[in-house]
Amino acid sequence: MRLRTPIQGSRLARRPSESGAFALVAPAIALLIGFLVIPFLLAIGLSLTNQRLVSPLPLRYVGLDNYERILADPRFWHALANNVTFAVIVPTAQTVLGLGLALMVNQQLRGISIFRTIYFAPVVMVLAVVSVVWRLLFAQSGMINAGIGAVTGGSFQPNWLHDPTLAFPAVMIMSIWQNVGFPMILLLAGLQAIPGELYEAARVDGANGRQIFVHITLPGLRNTLIFVLTISMITSFQLFDQPYVMTGGGPQDATTTLMLLMVQVGFAEQRIGQASAIAFVFFVLVLALAVIARRFGPRMTEES
């Protein structure tokens, strides 16, 4: 409860500021309603219809037909499996490797900031660009196979992006490389926020390097680690650019994702109703992850 004299409240602050405030928020409200709220509600509504992008047929309510059709489509299960695999492996690998990199660039060495910059550089690169570059690296006669050949003697020379079992791992390797600098930079900030006295006290008590890492460094980074993991998991469901450019979702749908499938169904096949159903399923997944992260994230930290 704010205490205000009636005169102040009504004349001095309210009247002129109300219209001024409206002028300031109106553009944002109008754009958010037009390009976020209405399309979002429309996605739910359209997913219950036979809407097509261009169609001579009249619009018809079809109940949950679109959802049934998606669930019966093997491409959907392929896509979902890929998204889940990606969401488990890539954020985990990125966080573990990012922690390693953060420890490396946290050393007191001359020129260390140059290495920090280099490790972070791929994060600012355009995904479509790094995807085409890695397509070249993953070519059968490319640099990655040359490297593998040099180490193994040349027995394992796969055609990465044309092999259904290796194409998606290739997409994941590239994605880990591209964004590992993101957890690195956050974890570096986390490392530097751990008070130096804790380390000194541990050393005085005779703790070795491993004990210090397990009992001081890791607990100190707990919040950052959880934040990095959950945010990368949530964004990983948006996976589109890398498979679109590297493989186009192939071979044999081996690298398809929910977003690739949605564009395929809604744009290429022009089935707006069914694509809206995919969009809604995607949203529910993202929302569920966000809710889980919010519920369990802070609690885990409170226990410690």
Partner 1 sequence: MAMGRSRRRIWALAVRYGLLLVVAAVFVVPLLVMFVGSVKPDLDVLAESNSLKAFRPSQIENNYADAFATSQFGRLLVNSLIVSGSVVVLGTFVNSMAGYALAWVPFKGRRLLLGVVVALVIVPFQAVAIPLLLIASKVQIVDTYVIQILPFIASPFFIYLFYSFFLGLPRELFEASRIDGAGVVRAYTSIALPLIKPAIATSAILSFLAIWGGLFWPVMVTRSVEVRPVTVGLSQVAGTLPTHWGDIMAMSVAISAPILIVFLVFQPAFIRSIASSGLKG
Site for partner 1 in 31-50 (CB under 8 A): 31-32, 34-40, 42-43, 46
Q: 61: helix, coil or strand?
A: strand
Q: Hey, which residues between 171 and 200 contact partner 1 (CB under 8 A)? A: 175, 177, 179, 182, 185-186, 189
How many residues comprise the chain? Answer: 304
Burial class (CB in 10 A: 0-12, 13-18, 19+), 110: exposed
Nearest to partner 1 of 168, 282 (CB atom):
282
Q: Which is nearer to partner 1, 149 or 201 (CB)?
A: 149
CB of 190 to partner 1, least distance (A): 11
Segment 58 to 97, residues that bind partner 1, using CB under 8 A: 86, 90-91
Q: Is 98 in the site for partner 1 (CB under 8 A)?
A: no
Binders of partner 1 in range 102-161 (CB under 8 A):
104-105, 107, 109, 112, 115, 117-130, 132-137, 139, 141-143, 145-146
Binder to partner 1 among 48, 99, 167, 279 (CB under 8 A)?
A: 279
Size of site (CB under 8 A) for partner 1 = 102
In angstroms, how far is CA 18 from the centroid of its own chain?
Answer: 39
Least CB distance from residue 148 to partner 1, whole Å?
11
Binding mask 253-272 for partner 1 (x = CB under 8 A): ------x--xx--xx----x
Q: Tell me how far apart the alpha carbons of residues 17 and 23 are, in angstroms, rounded to a whole number.
A: 10
What is the C-alpha separation between 297 and 291, in angstroms, rounded? 10
CA gap 100, 255 in Å, rounded: 29
